[in-house]
Amino acid sequence: MSEKKHYGFTTTILHGDRQKAIEHGSLHKPIHTSVAFGYADARQLASVFQGKEPGFRYGRQGNPTISALEEKVNKMEQGVGTICFATGMGAIGAVVQALLRTGDHVVSSSFLFGNTNSLWQTAMSQGVGVSFVDATDVANVEAAITDSTRVVFVETIANPRTQVADLKRIGELCKARGILYVVDNTMTTPYLFQPKSVHAGLVVNALTKSIGGHGNALGGSITDTGAYDWKQFPNIYENYKKAAPLQWGLAQIRAKALRDFGSSLAPDAAHHIAVGAETLALRMQRTTANALALAELLEKDERVAAVYYPGLKSHPQHHISAELFRAHGSLLSFELKDGLDCFDFLNRLKLAIPASNLGDNRTLIIPVAHTIFFEMGAERRASMGIAESLIRVSVGIEDTDDLLDDFCTALEGC
Ligand SMILES: *Cc1c(COP(=O)(O)O)cnc(C)c1O
C-alpha cells in the first residue's frame, strides 16, 4: 500500500499495517507475549535503552503488538504519535500523572464520565485545582481559566446526558492562550469526529468502547495530534526535551505515566481491539442509525418525559453535533414520566441487556443514578442534570425493527 495515496477511513485501517512487513506475511499482527527483548550485541541493548535507536526493552513500555495498535489508532486520529494503556481510565490518569503538578489548575467539563469525575476529585486531593464548568458554552470555560491553568479537558458528547461541548470555540480559546486542550473522543470515535480538527492537542479514546466494539477487551489511548506546541508547556522535564518539541509530550507520558505507573495494555487485548477496529465505520453507521430511530420513537411516546440525543432537533446542541460530527453517536438517554418504575420497564425488555459498558454490538441499558452515578450522591447528580429516573442506552447493531419493537413492547406495559 503506497504511503502517498489518500485512502478512506476503513481502507486505511485494514491495509495501513502492511506499510511495514508483518512477520511471515501474517495478515494480523501476531500477539507477542515476551516480556523482555534480547540483543545479540550488548552495545545495541544500551543504545536502545538510551533512545539512540528504535527497539523494545521491556513489556511495560511497549511491545510489537501494542505498537501496531498504536499506529492504527494514530492513523484513525491522524496524529503524530499514540500511546496505548490498559484502560481508558489508564489513559486519562496518565494526563494527571505525567503532565500536572501541585498548584496547577485544570478546567474540566462538569458533564463527565463518572470515573473521570472521580479522578479529578483524586487530583484535587493531591493539590491540583479543578474547576468544573458547563462546557457547552466557551464563555464558561474562558471565565474559569487562571494563570495556572495547564489543561482544558472535555468529552465530545457527554455520557450519559449527551451534552455536546462547544468544541470548536474551546479549541480556539486554548490555542490563543497556549493551553493544552485534551478531548475525550470515546463517544464519537475518530470515525465520527477527529478532535485534531478543533485544535485539540491530545485525544483520549477508551478503546474498550466502540473502537474495540465487541465488549471483549479493555484498552485506552492518548494521541498527540501535533496541534499543541510543547515549548509552551512549563511541566516538561529536561530529560524529555532531547527530541524534537513535537515529541516532548508523548516522551514524558510514556516514561512518567506508562513506565512509572504501569497501566500497560495486554498484548491479547491489543489484538482483540485491532481486529474490532477493522469494522468501526460499519458498526458506527449501523449504531448511529439505530440510535436516531430509537430516539425519535421515544420522543413521540407519551410515557417518556425527556429524551437526550444530539441527533434530535430538540437537543440544545444539535447544531454543534450536526456541524462537527459525521453522525450523532450511539448513546442516548431518557427519563420515564413520574410514577413509572424504571426497573419494571428495564425488566420487560427482551433484547436490550441491563449492563454497564458502551459501544458493544449488543444494546446495553442502565439506570444511571442507581448504578454508575450512585457513589457521587444525589446532590452532585442533580448538579450534573442526572435525574433519578434517567436511563442510558448504548445502542447496538441489532436489526432496527427488532430493537424498536423491543422498546415499544416494554413501554406498552407501563
Ligand atoms: C468508558 C469511558 C472511559 C473509561 O474507559 P475504560 O476503558 O472503561 O477505563 C473514559 N471516558 C469515557 C467517555 C468513557 O465512556
Of 20-24, 30-34, 200-204, 349-353, the range with the lowest mean pLDDT is 20-24
User: What is the predicted pLDDT for the residue at 414?
Assistant: 81
pLDDT digits (tens, 9 = 90+) for 365-378: 999 999 988 988 99
pLDDT digits (tens, 9 = 90+) for 64-83: 999 999 999 999 999 999 99
User: What is the predicted pLDDT for the residue at 4?
Assistant: 61
- Cα–Cα distance measured from residue 393 to residue 296, given in angstroms and rounded to the nearest whole number: 14
Q: Decide if pLDDT at 131 tops 70.
A: yes
User: What is the predicted pLDDT for the residue at 114?
Assistant: 86
Residues 254 and 265: beta-carbon distance below 8 Å: no
How far apart, in Å, are the Cα atoms of 220 and each of 25, 85, 156?
A: 28, 5, 16
- Ligand 1 contact, 184 CB (< 6 A): yes
Tell me how far the alpha carbon of residue 88 lies from the centroid of ligand 1, in angstroms. Answer: 5
Per cent of the chain over pLDDT 70 is 99
Residues 81 and 250: beta-carbon distance below 8 Å: yes
- What are the grid coordinates assigned to 28, written together? 494480523
Work out the average pLDDT over 38-57.
93
Per cent of the chain over pLDDT 90 is 88
Tell me how far the alpha carbon of residue 24 lies from the centroid of ligand 1, in angstroms. Answer: 35
Give 23's DSSP letter: G
- Cα–Cα distance measured from residue 345 to residue 359, given in angstroms and rounded to the nearest whole number: 22
User: What is the predicted pLDDT for the residue at 287?
Assistant: 98
- Ligand 1 contact, 87 CB (< 6 A): yes
Going from N- to C-terminal start, the domains of the chain cover 9-277, 281-412
pLDDT digits (tens, 9 = 90+) for 137-149: 999 999 999 999 9
Closest ligand 1 atom to Cα of 187 = 13
Q: Is 78 exposed, middle or buried (0-12, 13-18, 19+ CB in 10 A)?
A: middle
Q: From the CB of residue 352, how many other CB atoms can be counted at a distance below 10 Å?
A: 24
- Ligand 1 contact, 113 CB (< 6 A): yes
Tell me how far the alpha carbon of residue 185 lies from the centroid of ligand 1, in angstroms. Answer: 10
User: What is the predicted pLDDT for the residue at 166?
Assistant: 98
Work out the average pLDDT over 158-184.
97
DSSP strand pairing (202-206 vs 220-224): antiparallel
Residues 184 and 209: beta-carbon distance below 8 Å: no
Q: Give the sign of the dihedral formed by CA 360, CA 365, CA 368, CA 374.
A: negative
pLDDT digits (tens, 9 = 90+) for 232-272: 999 999 999 988 999 999 999 999 999 999 999 999 999 99
User: What is the predicted pLDDT for the residue at 20?
Assistant: 82
- Ligand 1 contact, 266 CB (< 6 A): no
Q: From the CB of residue 348, how many other CB atoms can be counted at a distance below 10 Å?
A: 16
- Tell me which of 116, 189, 209 to substitute to probe ligand 1's pocket, judged by most ligand atoms within 8 Å of the beta carbon: 209
- Ligand 1 contact, 154 CB (< 6 A): no
DSSP per-residue letters across 282-309: HHHHHHHHHHHHHHHHHHH-TTEEEEE-
If pLDDT is split at 50, 70 and 90, which confidence band does 16 have? Answer: confident
Tell me how far the alpha carbon of residue 358 lies from the centroid of ligand 1, in angstroms. Answer: 9
239 DSSP β-pair partners: none
The yes-or-no answer to whether 9-277 and 281-412 have a common fold is no
Exposure class string for 54-63: b at 16+ Cβ within 10 A, else e: eebbebeebb
Q: Decide if pLDDT at 196 tops 70.
A: yes
Tell me how far the alpha carbon of residue 95 lies from the centroid of ligand 1, in angstroms. Answer: 14
Q: Decide if pLDDT at 290 tops 80.
A: yes
- What are the grid coordinates assigned to 372, written together? 454508575
CATH number of 281-412: 3.90.1150.10
- Tell me which of 84, 85, 188, 208 to substitute to probe ligand 1's pocket, judged by most ligand atoms within 8 Å of the beta carbon: 208
Residues 391 and 332: beta-carbon distance below 8 Å: no
CATH number of 9-277: 3.40.640.10
If pLDDT is split at 50, 70 and 90, which confidence band does 5 have? Answer: confident
- What are the grid coordinates assigned to 183, written together? 478531548
User: What is the predicted pLDDT for the residue at 18?
Assistant: 77
Our measurement of the distance from residue 273's CA atom to the centroid of its chain's CA atoms, rounded to an integer in Å, reads 14
User: What is the predicted pLDDT for the residue at 384?
Assistant: 80
- Ligand 1 contact, 189 CB (< 6 A): no
Tell me how far the alpha carbon of residue 346 lies from the centroid of ligand 1, in angstroms. Answer: 23
- Ligand 1 contact, 220 CB (< 6 A): yes
Give 132's DSSP letter: E
